Chain A
Amino acid sequence: MKAYTTIEALVASVLLLTVVSISVIIILNIMASNKSNLKYRAEQILKEIALNYEESNMDDYEDQFIRIEMTKKLYSDFEDVWQIELMAYDRNGVFISDLSFLKKRVNED
């Protein structure tokens, strides 16, 4: 077996360490982004629905990963204001995110 000099060992260690660190960072990043992507996307969808409530159709926002539920109740003692709560679940029924907002109640509501 060939013996390596100290210098060679040092060079190899530095390069190896660098490669390992980069790999770990990239893997961690990918794992983190995969995990948060669904939550981020769900939050985006909920906000988009809240900002365009009148024109929004829930079915347009649902996809193979996210399911959205909406509940409506009167806000506190205000009989002409809805508190609308949007909840996003994944397709396994696991809760992802929610969002509440208010809308003035119109006659046809």
Chain B
Amino acid sequence: MKIRAGALVYAIFIAFILFGLCSSFILFSYHHRKLVGSNETQLSYLIALNSAIELGLSKYFQHNDEEKSVVQLFVENTGFSISLKKESWGLYDILTAEHLNPTIYKSKTALIGSSAFEHSSLALYLTDKTSPLSMGGRTNLKGLCFLPKSGLRKAYIEGQNFCGVMPEPSEIRDSQKRLPSPNMKKITQLQKLFADKGLLDSVIPFESNIGAVVLNDWNGKSVTLQSSNEINLQTMRLKGKILVYSPSRITIENCELDGVIFISPIIIVKRQSKGNFQAIASDSILIDYQSRLNFPGSLSLINFDNSPDKKGVVSFKNQSYLEGDVLIHTSQTGHNIKLLLEIDASSGMSGRAYVKGPVELKGIIRGGLFCEEFILKTPSSMYSNHLFNSTIDRASLPTNFIGSSLFSTSNDIIKWLN
């Protein structure tokens, strides 16, 4: 049989098609392997970053304040170089781990706090100012209580006998004349933040046209929205590493907030504002009109200027609620200083409150409270160290609740920020 010479053209054509098929097969296989390899590398980086964060949570890890610390993980194997940075963010801290490989930028950031009071089941620490704690009406006190040596008694208030729940005798211990000291480093950090007017990094005048939405990444530098006058935030959305500072007053109405810190002498939250944020004030904080601060929120009222006759209040009114921490602190002592926590009958909080002063509690605290005294105002009278129709219940707070690191050196992750 004879084949025409033109058959060579067909043969070459078929060979080219087969070559193309082979090439695409090889290329597909190559890219698939590359993609799988890349995913594997990403997972390895992620595991290394998680490990670095776990190391950063250790109480033995020496953080350089606000500076990066370089750690070498598993030197004998792969030798991941990762930088760790812990910086203060209000009552909490931000822990960031970043790979030092210049070709790949990968990082993880977490908001961290502490999981425990000194006594994890503590419901109440009331300083020993000689008078006993009197409970009237439907008052419930559940959990470990440190009370004045004069103890606990039932009281007849406003025509009502006591019909609530008292702590078990085994849950009652004697308190001291002073509250246990909180972590002063944290208070110094808040003081510095207040004195610096929140000026950590970039500053944007609030009067400039910032728009209704301000977002800032957690990995980068913080942004401070600042004004020399009062600030009224209405129907705005703020999210990320943002500080808002006013030297006189900040009013927040119907805003959506996530992670923001407000710094001002007076801070007012009203009209169903929602979200999680922190407020740092020197005079007063008012949470009003069904406002809800979600976890992890915090309210700090501090006598920053050490005034000997400081008056101030953190007040929850009209079905307002906080999930997080309350800190009311003064380094000065004296009868002229009165920093008060006030929770009305329709309001409450879940978390932990440290009040270096009196508390007027008519609502509910699901968690723990440190305070110097209770005051109770009724239409007919005013009582000292009396609780009436109110609740402090430690058991309602999850045992693994993580709040600020005011009372413990342990570090735990509150939430991942990226």
A-side residues, CB < 8 A to B, are 2, 5, 7-8, 10-11, 14-15, 18, 21-22, 25, 29, 40, 43, 47, 50-51, 75, 77-81, 83, 98-104
Contacts and interface: CB of A to CB of B under 8 A. Distances in A.
Interface stretch (B48-56, B324-332, B376-384): B48-56
Given A43-B40, A81-B58, A102-B55, A7 B14 contact: no
B58 A78 contact: yes
Given A29-B29, A100-B51, 20 more contacts: A5-B2, A7-B4, A8-B3, A11-B7, A11-B11, A14-B12, A14-B15, A15-B14, A18-B14, A22-B22, A50-B47, A50-B50, A51-B47, A79-B60, A83-B74, A101-B47, A101-B50, A102-B50, A102-B55, A103-B54
Which among B1, B46, B58, B60 has the greatest number of chain A C-beta atoms within 10 A? B58
Interface in B17-51: 18-19, 21-22, 25-26, 29, 36, 40, 43-44, 46-48, 50-51
A80 B409 CA distance: 12
Contact of A40 (B21, B36, B51, B52): B36
A101 B3 contact: no
B105 interface: no
B57 interface: yes
Q: Which secondary structure dominates where chain B touches chain A?
A: helix
Contacts of A102: 50-52, 54-55, 73
Interface residues of B, number: 38
Nearest to B11: A11
A51 B5 contact: no
B50 A78 contact: no
A104 B19 CA distance: 55
B3 A5 contact: yes
B50 A51 contact: yes
Given A11-B7, A80-B58, A21 B47 contact: no
A15 B54 contact: no
